[in-house]
Amino acid sequence: MRLAAEDIARSLRGSWRLMSEGAEALPDLDLSREGFWRSFLALALMAPATIALLAATRLFAGLPNTVGLFAAPGLVVSVVGALLLTILVVPAFLIFLRPELAREARFTSFVIAWNWAGIVSASLMALPAAVFALGWSTPQLAIAQFAAFGIVVLRLRYGVARAAFGGGGVALLLVSASIVLDYGVVRLFGLA
């Protein structure tokens, strides 16, 4: 199982299009069984975003990046773990609520789209993180920028949920659940 650059570009573009075009953008994603597993493999594409988020987190924690980005292994594990878990927790929560959902095609489509959108989301959040880590913004400005990009991420999540499950009510519930679950994950890893 491998990821071709063409597949990656199409999948990222398709996940972005879910915000505006909903279910019409789903065919841009590989919705096959292999595509399902490939979407988990694709989470490795978050590595550059993870570096920017780690650098910003170090500064918020009062640790200079000049001593090395990986000088605090516990913080590295926390950032990587929180980033991955924020993507995986919503599908896991859905299976916890309704185990039979795991056998439905719409759930598979949701997970594939959610994983690819997670890569886009991490990349979006990495932008203000990189600006802050480079010293081009103050902590207060960085928090405002994180909040602004966070709104775009929530809109993307809404588009993914609406495309997979239809109707705005279910999508709003999933986005609301994602906010609560993300907060729980961030607290769990001591990053709040």
Distance CA 38, CA 36 (A): 5
pLDDT of residue 84: 95
DSSP label at residue 104: S
Distance CA 88, CA 129 (A): 22
Judge whether 133 and 59 are in contact, CB under 8 Å: yes
Distance CA 148, CA 137 (A): 14
Distance CA 70, CA 68 (A): 5
Q: What is the mean pLDDT of the chain?
A: 93
**How confident is the model over 35-68, as pLDDT tens digits?**
999 999 999 999 999 999 999 999 999 999 999 8
Q: How many residues does the chain have?
A: 192
Distance CA 96, CA 125 (A): 28
From the number of C-beta atoms within 10 Å of its C-beta (0-12, 13-18, 19+), residue 58 rates as: buried
Distance CA 112, CA 130 (A): 27
Is residue 142's pLDDT more than 90?
yes
Is residue 168's pLDDT more than 80?
no
Residue 140, C-beta contacts closer than 8 angstroms, at least 6 positions apart: none
pTM attached to this predicted model: 0.93
pLDDT of residue 85: 95
Q: Which of 72, 27, 67, 38 is nearest to 54 (CA)?
A: 72
Where residue 3 falls among pLDDT bands split at 50, 70, 90?
confident
Tokens of 154: 């929530």
Is residue 126's pLDDT more than 90?
yes
Sign of the Cα torsion 82, 84, 88, 90 reads: positive
**How confident is the model over 74-122, as pLDDT tens digits?**
999 999 999 999 999 999 999 999 999 999 999 999 999 999 999 999 9
pLDDT of residue 191: 87
The mean per-residue pLDDT over the stretch 159-181 comes to 92
Where residue 4 falls among pLDDT bands split at 50, 70, 90?
confident
pLDDT of residue 22: 87
pLDDT of residue 17: 94
Distance CA 84, CA 53 (A): 13
Residue 167, C-beta contacts closer than 8 angstroms, at least 6 positions apart: none
pLDDT of residue 26: 93
